[in-house]
Amino acid sequence: MEVYCPDPVQGQQLAVVTHAGDPSVHTKSQNLHVAALKLPSCELERNVARSSLPLRALAYSPDGNLLAVGGDAENVRLHNVAEGMR
């Protein structure tokens, strides 16, 4: 299944990652946030992370519970996918 989900603010997604155990897609965009979108509607499910510097990479842990987010801050942060951003 191919689904196009434009970023509601900037109009484009820069990275997309999915996991077999999660029915949503996590996206990284130009407005410095990572969001979980419901498929196939592309509705915002929850914000997962944000940064003051550009984000460059996303990756799931093998069990799909954590999302690693790396960027220009030269670090990698782990976010609990189920909890979203606090």
Residue 63 belongs to some domain of the structure: yes
pLDDT band at residue 58 under the 50/70/90 scheme: confident
In a domain, 2, yes or no: no
For residue 83, give every residue at least 6 positions away whose Cβ sits within 8 Å of its Cβ, in sequence order, or none.
Answer: none
> Cα–Cα distance between 5 and 74 in angstroms, integer?
28
Query: Which residues form the domain of 30?
Result: 13-80
Claim: this prediction has a pTM higher than 0.75:
no
Give the Å distances, CA to CA, from 71 to 2, 13, 38, 49: 27, 15, 24, 12
Q: How confident is the model at residue 52 (pLDDT cuts 50, 70, 90)?
A: confident
Specify the number of domains making up the chain: 1
Task: Give the chain's length.
Answer: 86
The answer to whether residue 62 sits within a structural domain is: yes
* 62 vs 42, higher pLDDT: 62
Q: Tell me how far apart the alpha carbons of residues 14 and 55 are, in angstroms, rounded to a whole number.
A: 9
